[in-house]
Amino acid sequence: MSLRLGDIAPDFSAETTQGPINFHEWIGNSWVLFFSHPADFTPVCTTELGKTALLNGEFSKRGVKAIAISVDSLESHNKWVPDIEEVNQVEMNFPIIADPEKKVALLYDMIHPNASEKATVRSVFIIGPDKKIKLTLTYPASTGRNFTEILRVIDSLQLTANYQVATPADWVNGEDVIITPAVSNEEALTKFPKGFTAVKPYLRKTPQPNL
């Protein structure tokens, strides 16, 4: 099943390290970072889950819940968590889904047979409160994710969901943004009272509107 941006994230029920969940109920009115790791007791994954736990405050202030998954068992997850906490000097503060039958991994197309028939690739899904998929990323098993980039993308997604703007290359929170072409110059004067600069007729920059 190939999931695309704007699709409703498939619902499922599963066991996690923090108890059973129904995914859509668990999401509630939050944004969600849903990501997979190839296997428990692997070095890159140990750093990734620890980094996510360390960034819990950054995710929380953005209204984002984090949840991870692999095709290992709940027993395996529970044995691995102490290692994650020790290596990263952090307390695990988000759930890891157990998916030994690969039901969720297959539902979200996390297993790429040409890469591995048994393990999930490093998939990333950002899901909005409307349960729709806002972003997908796929990393090979050998490459750890850039969580600074994931936070940057969340900032952009949340900003552009509420204002008629887009974010330029390498944008970070606090920098100028681009007014979308659908907004006329006349409308822009009302919508963006801080003013705007027309670099080109189709490229108009304005200070970030929610600051």
Confidence of residue 122 (pLDDT cuts 50, 70, 90): confident
* Domain span at 169: 163-206
Does residue 172 share a domain with residue 77? no
Active-site residue (options: 14, 32, 33, 45): 45
Q: What is the DSSP-derived secondary structure letter of residue 129? A: T
Does residue 134 share a domain with residue 77? yes
Does residue 138 share a domain with residue 68? yes
In a domain, 1, yes or no: no
Does residue 197 share a domain with residue 128? no
Residue indicated by tokens 């849903």: 34
Distance CA 67, CA 16 (A): 9
Distance CA 167, CA 170 (A): 8
In a domain, 151, yes or no: no
End residue of a domain, out of 144, 172, 189: 144
Q: What is the pTM of this model?
A: 0.92
Can you give the CATH number for the domain in which 62 is found?
3.40.30.10
Does residue 176 share a domain with residue 78? no
* pLDDT for the residue numbered 112: 62
* Tokens coding 90: 């952090």
| Average pLDDT value for the chain | 94
Rounded to 5°, angle at Cα 181 from 177 and 183: 90
Residue 111 has pLDDT above 90, yes or no: no
Does residue 135 share a domain with residue 38? yes
* pLDDT for the residue numbered 119: 64
Does residue 125 share a domain with residue 29? yes
In a domain, 154, yes or no: no
**Stretch 108-127: mean pLDDT, rounded?**
74
**Number of domains present in the structure of the chain:** 2
Range of lowest pLDDT (53-57, 119-123, 165-169, 186-190):
119-123
Q: Is 48 a catalytic residue?
A: no
Does residue 24 share a domain with residue 87? yes
